[in-house]
Amino acid sequence: MKKNVGGIDKILRVVVGLGLLSMLFLAEGAAKWYGLIGLVPLSTALTGYCPLYSILGLNTCPLSGKARQT
């Protein structure tokens, strides 16, 4: 798996992921379980790889972009 998630993108994914996970503690009823969706952006930030980016041909990682140009 090539890394395709860059620095700012990783930070945004961590913030969004933690925000969604906070729903587990703040929301009531069945809606709180939607907070588990926050695991997706957190895992993609930690691994540096996003499967959806691969399908769409996107790449925000500056290292991968330099490797392609040389």
pLDDT per residue as tens, the chain (70 positions): 889 999 999 999 999 999 999 999 999 999 999 999 999 999 999 999 999 999 999 999 887 555 555 4
Q: What is the pTM assigned to this prediction?
A: 0.83
Q: Are 59 and 4 in contact (CB under 8 A)?
A: yes
Q: Give the orientation angle of helix 7-21 with respect to helix 39-47, to 10 degrees.
A: 150
Say what the pLDDT of residue 70 is.
44
Say what the pLDDT of residue 1 is.
83
- The C-alpha atoms of residue 22 and residue 29 are separated, in whole angstroms, by 14
